[in-house]
Amino acid sequence: MRGDRLISILLILQAQGQMTAKELAEKLEVSERTIYRDMEVLSGSGIPVFADRGKNGGWSLIDGYHTDLTGLKESEIRALFAPVSPQLLEDLGLTRTSEDARNKLIASLPDVYRKSAKDIWNRIHIDTSSWRGTKERIASFEMLKNAIWEDVKLEIIYQRADGQINNYIVQPLGLVAKGSSWYFIAAKESGDIRNYRASRIQSATPLKETFERHDSFDIATYWKSSKKAFINTLPSYEVWVKVSEEIFPRLSFSNYFVRIMETKSNIEKGWRPVKLTFDTKEEAKRYILGFTDQMKIIEPKELHLEIFKMAKEAVAHYKP
């Protein structure tokens, strides 16, 4: 997001001349403090931006400086103009801003590349919404978004997955979209960084106290590490089964967290050996029972009796 904003600042100053930090902040819907940081980044990367102080002062580009984004390769243009999820932009309140920035970028491209950039949106579309159109309700999303830009501490009331409700004082660091779900990344007063599912935050109240954000924190690097650590702690239950060739293509089309780990090529009388892994034994039993006579257990053998017992209970329950 910062990269898009830096380009927007550059093109705005090029088109409109001198602007104050306040004017840029209002136009880009960020804080003045963020604008000052962005100017430091632009200056450090060699862009000749400078500030005139005083009543009529503001930021501007040195006379004669101009960029039209020439020199970009076609693959770089595709990467730059690759579409993002409309649902996520809507959640962030950036739909119109994204369209405006996109149009400015297209206008700055040489004619030879302009059609190529426009074609990307007719060839690639990213939809992160569910088929039924349902989405998680996030009670304090506006407050969370404001807090990550303003660097103000929040007091949040959070409901954990087990139903327990806790109060936390946190330092907001960012938001991460995982599929269609949002996660709020924040540091606790102890300094530990935690992930909070945004839909479980029942309320968020800004405090008058601000905090100093560490320049070394990179949200993409943090999330990659956090996700890897989470995956490594997930429980795992492995099962070898034989499945009929008829249902083999449908194995992964399920509401269960089942993964195909290994498949043997030898097929005996229409049955193929497959190694499956689940989060828990209970998930494995319900999944296997759902395929009735189209799946046979090889190991662990104790599942035979447990699934047989489940089947008897189901028959007794529905018996007229």
| Confidence at residue 51, expressed as pLDDT on a 0 to 100 scale | 82
| Confidence at residue 156, expressed as pLDDT on a 0 to 100 scale | 95
pLDDT tens, 71-116?
566 676 777 777 788 888 888 887 877 777 777 777 776 666 677 7
Average pLDDT of every residue of the chain: 83
pLDDT tens, 275-320?
988 888 888 898 888 888 888 999 998 898 899 999 999 899 988 8
Torsion, Cα 231 237 238 241, to 10 degrees, reads -130
CA 209/CA 165 separation, integer angstroms? 24
pLDDT tens, 251-286?
766 655 677 777 877 778 888 888 988 888 888 898
Least confident of 14-28, 109-123, 129-143: 109-123
CA 291/CA 256 separation, integer angstroms? 13
DSSP string of 173-214, one letter each residue: EEEEEETTEEEEEEEETTS-EEEEEGGGEEEEEEEEEE-PPP
Q: Omega of the bond prior to 300 within 30 degrees of 0, cis?
A: yes
pLDDT tens, 42-76?
887 777 888 887 666 788 888 767 665 555 666 76
| Confidence at residue 231, expressed as pLDDT on a 0 to 100 scale | 81
